[in-house]
Structure formats: C-alpha cells, structure tokens
Structure 1
Amino acid sequence: MMEVVIAPAEELARLAADAVEELLRAKPTAALGLATGSSPLAVYDELARRHAEEGLSFAQAQGFMLDEYVGLPAEHPQRYRNVISAEIADRVAWPADQVHGPDGLAEDLPAACAAFEQAIADAGGVDLQLLGIGTDGHIGFNEPGSSLASRTRIKSLTDQTRQDNARFFDDDVDQVPPHCLTQGLGTISDARHLVLLATGRHKAEAVHQLVEGPVSALWPASVMQLHPHATVLLDEGAASRLQLADYYRQAYASKPSWQGL
C-alpha cells in the first residue's frame, strides 16, 4: 500500500522522524536505510534534536547507506560515508562500526557490492528506508533503465544527475564522479517500510510518475507502487502534478488517530 501525505515541509520532517523514533523505541536494534542529498536533511536535524533533548538512542541500531561514489578519496567531504557521519551519525553518537556502506574504494567492486548485500542480510534486513527522488525519477542511484529487480552494483551516473549534484562540488560537474555503487531497486524494495520525501515543484513530474504513472524502468521510483508499505511525503510543490491530490489529502485527514505512517 502506498500512502501519500501532502503537508508543509517542516511537518513532513516531523512525520518521518516520528516513524524512525517509533521504530527505534519498539526495536532498539532496528536497521535504518540512510539517504543522502537535500531531501532527508530536515529529518536528520529533527532526529538529532530528539537525541539531544529527548534521549532518542541509536546506540544499538544498524545503519545502511543507499549508495556511495566510486573513487572519491577517503577524506573527501562529499564521500557519502563522510556526509552521513556529518549529517546524522556523529550527531546522535551512532557507533561508526554500526553504520555500513558499499566500499567505493574497493579494488574488487563487485565483491564489495556482494559484501554489502550480505551485511544487510546478516542484520535481518532493513526495517525503514529513507529515500529522496531525483528529477529523473531515480532512487538511490538507480538511473532510468535500471532493472526493477536489481541488487547493489556499480552504475554510471547520467549527465542530469551529475549536473544536479554539481552543487555539492563547487558547481563543477567535472568534479562529480561518473560512477557510483548503489543499492538496487530490488534491494531497496526488500526494506519493510519505505519513506520517501520530496519537496519543490522541480520534483513534481518525478513524483507524478512515482505515484500515478505506470511501473516502469523509465521512472525507477515507480517500483514503490509494488511495495506493501510505502509512504510518500510531499510538500505542495512536489505534489502539484498529482491528479488525485485532493483524494490523498482527504484520505490523510480522515485517518484513524491510532494509525501511524
């Protein structure tokens, strides 16, 4: 089932943080899937606040990154392991050996991808996966054309994705690595709960295809339509192309008070 929630951006961050907190308080050893990019930043801010002010603990949790650039030096600030450390792990005293990512510096990249898949399996699978969406409909770095059954693997980034990410590299697209390791769409779909956040009108077409378009490799995020527990959190801009937006608002407004995301 896919639930679509349309609300102000600050409320979306609180809702996503609520889902994470509810999971961690019920299952302190839960496995969380961690996205990078701009979409989850407000969620990480809210989780860090709850850790500092309300004692929300990540001490026993496992974290699994969605993706990693290939070839960025270990100390590079845009290496996703460093980004995740700065944005969430260090802020909530999350033990470093409990936050895992595919090794973009490995000599044997296919073996590194297989090892990452095994680490997820050894943890019992991901309980809640945070996601953003690219303007071309990618989740993780699963670019258009990705197999809906794909597993963690090396991918070539599209020109559009590299241009979108150039803002993290001094607006120099040539500094953005051309390759990455990413959880596949099949890997992502194995998580028990998918929580995707999107804000801004520039995401509207991708969101429309995700929620209301056909399930298609052309719009990789559309695989979420097949998931038994998927939540899509949108602001008005990101929801502006949805044909059934009024219905989604009505359904959310009339939810039973005991029912979470």
Structure 2
Amino acid sequence: MQIHLVKDYNAMSACAFDIIANTLRQKSSPVISLTTGATPAGLFKLLVKAINAGDIDISNTVFLNIDEYVGNQRDVYTVHTFMFERLYNQLTQKPKYFDMFNAGTLNKDYEILRYKHILDTYPRDIQLMGLGTNGHIGACEPGTPFDASAFCAEHKASTIESTMKLYNITREQAPTHMFTLGFREIMAADRPLLIVSGTSKADAVRRLLEEPINESCPASFLRNHPNFTLILDEEAASQLRKETLEWATR
C-alpha cells in the first residue's frame, strides 16, 4: 500500500493527475477506469488541459468507468452525463475506445455480462475511486460481500442524500440503484487508486486505515491489494491517530 498525504483538494487532484498521466505516457495501450462526482472533478480539469495541450496522447487509450446509476442515460446525475460534460465533449483528441454501463438498459443481467466482457477485453492499469462517507467504493455499500462480482446495487440512505446534494435534485428524482463493479473486478486492476478529500470523509478514512478489514467499511478491503494507492488531504486525515500519520508519511 502506498499513501500520499497532501495539503488540500487541489493537491489531491494534482497528485492523482500525476499518477494517471505517468501511466498514460508510459504505457503503449493504457486502460484507465474512472469514477465521477465532486471528488475527481479537479482531476478531470487537469486531464482535459493536459490532453488538449498535447502533453498527453490518448489515441491508444481506453477509458472505462467503475459504475453507473440506473435511470435515464441523459439525466443530470448519470455517469454518462458527467463523462461527456467533463471529459469527452471537451477533448480535442479522442481516445481509442471508451465504455461504461448503460444506465437505461432494459436488461440489467445482460448489461452486467456485457460490461464484464469489456473488462476482460481491456485489463485496467488503474481503477480510480472515491470514498463514500459510509466507506463505500463504487456502489459497493456496507455489507457487500468481498467476493462480489459486478452487480446492480441498491443505495443506502447516505449515498442517496449525497447524490441529491451534489446534483441539486429531490428525493423523488434521485436514483436508488446503481450498476457497479464488485470487489472481484476492483481488485483485478493493476492499481486501485483511491482519492479522498474533506472532513466529511475523515471517519471513513479512519475506519479504512485503523480498523480491521470488514464488510462494514467496504474500502478497507483495498488494503489486501499490493498496489493499492491512497491519496488523502489533511482534512480527510484529521481523525487518524498520530501513529497512523507517522506510518503513512514515512
């Protein structure tokens, strides 16, 4: 496990960008699986700027995503909307290929099988993730078995509330289910990369690093991956013990 403790959100975004940019530059056919929401928004801005400036060539890159809400594909909250508004529509060059779960599919079982085939076709160099306030990653909520494969998850109340706040939508408008990679797929990536910022995530970070690996904090399972990389800012690390901080920064 590798931990980067940085000052603030901007530093977290820059650190994550450096890791992803290095992979994009060094690999001949890089595969990057992304996440969406407030946490990676700054990272996306840095990626767009570097790609459009010609500092990074993505002509042989594959972009994937860890999850997708179930609903109208073009609704404001979907991963599809986020990816096109924050990345694909802003790029002056296009990746070799991109894919994600289909939010509006009428056959959920088929869609899961289809996307698992895509993952098998394009092994991931990096799986980017954010951390939920309850410790979830992707849509693997507390209680998700550690042997779970890709599935359609039902959101916990805290996740629904976060979605409502982020996208300024009502409880009736908020999605209640989400396609997600399971732990099997997450751990199959060469490098799981978790980025965390803010005091609202501090308790989840404490549970991730200081409590035993347990399904009550899904992100804790990442500690079993030899290349797990965690980037957190000072606010997110604010509940960690002094000994943990010393260990994390040595």
TM-score normalised to structure 2 length: 0.93
Q: Secondary structure at the match of 1:60?
A: coil
Matches within 5 A, 1:3-42: 3-8=2-7, 9-42=9-42
Deviations 1:2-27 (A, max 9, x none): 11211122222122111111111111
The letter of the residue matching 1:246 is: E
Q: Residue 206 of structure 2 aligns with which residue?
A: 208
The letter of the residue matching 2:214 is: S
Deviations 1:76-114 (A, max 9, x none): 232211211211233234647822111222221011111
The letter of the residue matching 1:235 is: D
Q: Residue 223 of structure 1 aligns with which residue?
A: 221
Structure 1 residue 169: Cα displacement: 3.8
Q: Residue 161 of structure 1 aligns with which residue?
A: 159
Q: Residue 59 of structure 1 aligns with which residue?
A: 59
Structure 1 residue 145: Cα displacement: 0.5
Structure 1 residue 74: Cα displacement: 2.8
RMSD after superposition: 1.6
Whole-Å Cα distance in 1 between the matches of residues 34 and 93 of structure 2? 13
The letter of the residue matching 1:59 is: S
Range that drifts further, 99-108 or 223-232: 99-108
Whole-Å Cα distance in 1 between the matches of residues 92 and 119 of structure 2? 21
Q: Residue 74 of structure 1 aligns with which residue?
A: 73
Q: Secondary structure at the match of 1:239?
A: coil
Identity %: 23
Deviations 1:12-54 (A, max 9, x none): 2122111111111111421101101111111111111111234
Q: Secondary structure at the match of 1:144?
A: coil
Matches within 5 A, 1:151-190: 151-190=149-188
Gaps of 5+ in 2: none
1:141 aligns with 2:165: no
Structure 1 residue 164: Cα displacement: 1.1
Q: Contact between 1:7 and 1:234, CA under 8 Å: does it hold in 2?
A: yes
Whole-Å Cα distance in 1 between the matches of residues 132 and 32 of structure 2? 21
CA, structure 1 residues 93+210, in 2 after alignment: closer, same or farther (shift >3 Å)? farther
Structure 1 residue 151: Cα displacement: 1.3
Aligned residues: 247
TM-score normalised to structure 1 length: 0.89
Whole-Å Cα distance in 2 between the matches of residues 35 and 20 of structure 1? 13
Whole-Å Cα distance in 2 between the matches of residues 161 and 111 of structure 1? 25
Deviations 1:185-231 (A, max 9, x none): 22111110111111111101111111222111110001111001011
Q: Contact between 2:52 and 2:92, CA under 8 Å: does it hold in 1?
A: no
